[in-house]
Amino acid sequence: MLPFSPGARIFVCLNDVDFRKGIDGLAAVCRNQLTQDPMSGIVFLFRNRRGTSLRILMYDGQGFWLCTKRLSQGRFKWWPTKSPVIDVKDLQALLWNGNPELARFGADWKKILRQ
């Protein structure tokens, strides 16, 4: 599992993306479709047309990371349709091919500590 800080900003490209695109092509999608700067430190998430693969693009201050997860069988069952922003818990559930809307998570310690 990739380590993301709990406050990481994650933008999802709601449309399917041609995975023949490399880093530069996906960075262009970030700029043109998501209207975000790909070098801003935001984590960007993409899905292929068949729903069998995900790609994560992120910039760490020195260069880009491009990570791919391809399922050996089946398809990713859940994909956001309304908001292009998800949180880290949703991303972790999705990477395990789960549905973040149905996933059960432990206590949110930030909320507990504020009470």
How far are the Cα atoms of 18, 22, 49, 50, 104 from residue 72, in angstroms, in the given order? 19, 21, 16, 13, 25
Q: Tell me the per-residue pLDDT of 3-17, one tens digit each, with 9 for 90 and over.
A: 777 788 999 999 999
Which whole number is the average pLDDT over 63-83? 90
User: What is the model's pLDDT at position 48?
Assistant: 96
Strand partners, 85: 11
- Per-residue pLDDT tens digits for 14-60: 999 999 999 999 999 999 999 999 999 999 999 999 999 999 999 99
Indicate the residue type of 27: A
DSSP 8-class letter at 63: S
Alpha-carbon distance of 105 to 69, in angstroms, equals 22
Consecutive H or E run containing 113:
helix 109-114
Q: Is pLDDT above 70 for 1?
A: no
Residue 64, H or E segment: strand 64-70
Q: Residue 108: what residue type?
A: D
pTM (two decimals) = 0.83
